Amino acid sequence: MTTTTTRVQAAKAPPRGHANTLLRAAQILLAAVFAVAAVPKLAGAHSATVMFSQIGAGQWLRYLVGTAELAGAIGLLIPRLAGLAAAGLAADMAGATIINIAVLRSAAVVMTIPLCAAFTLIAWHRREQIRSWSRPSRYSQQLLRQVRQPAGRSETSLTGQDTTP
């Protein structure tokens, strides 16, 4: 018996084998890097406060960026959140690239551009995880069916028991 896989089915299939292992290893490495990078921002290290003063947006931005980077690092380690975390960190690195070029005129773009590309690649490979967040869960679908069902009809409840009076 032969099995035919359509292009749509192949796109929905999770990454397998070596590619998934490499992707997971990259996520772990990048999570460690961003957890370490977030600490000085949240702890108020002198270098971080000076840099964010130069940006001119205030120290609230330092806390926001530090929190986003730490949350992204944690999210990369949680399989269900990895795609969203990578997308968020890609946006963070895109913003950092713009700030480094336009405001700070820093050579840090040599790091922020490849990091943005890496997070974009991870988010793209984890796109099914990201899409799953926009779909209702089975539990919420079942709740909606019960709410929409006219009175008097029997249907099993969320616990699997008959709800007929």
Whether 101 and 62 have beta carbons less than 8 Å apart is answered as no
- Tens-place pLDDT, residues 127-155: 998 888 887 777 777 877 888 876 655 55
Delimit the domains of the chain by residue range. 17-134
Q: CB-hemisphere CA count at 13 Å for 146? A: 15
Q: Is 141 exposed, middle or buried (0-12, 13-18, 19+ CB in 10 A)?
A: exposed
What is the pLDDT confidence band of residue 126, given thresholds at 50, 70 and 90?
A: very high
What is the pLDDT confidence band of residue 2, given thresholds at 50, 70 and 90?
A: low
Q: Is 101 exposed, middle or buried (0-12, 13-18, 19+ CB in 10 A)?
A: middle
| Predicted local distance difference test score (pLDDT) of residue 141 | 78
Is the model's pLDDT at 1 over the cut of 80?
Answer: no
d(CA 4, CA 81): 31
| Predicted local distance difference test score (pLDDT) of residue 148 | 80
pTM above 0.75, yes or no: no
User: For residue 14, is it left (φ>0), alpha (ψ between -120 and 50) or beta?
Assistant: beta
Q: Smallest Cα–Cα separation from 114: which of 130, 95, 90?
A: 90
> 24 Cβ partners below 8 Å, 6+ apart?
none
| Predicted local distance difference test score (pLDDT) of residue 135 | 78
- Tens-place pLDDT, residues 59-116: 999 999 999 999 999 999 999 999 999 999 999 999 999 999 999 999 999 999 999 9
- Tens-place pLDDT, residues 4-60: 555 555 455 555 688 889 999 999 999 999 999 999 999 999 999 999 999 999 999
| Predicted local distance difference test score (pLDDT) of residue 9 | 54
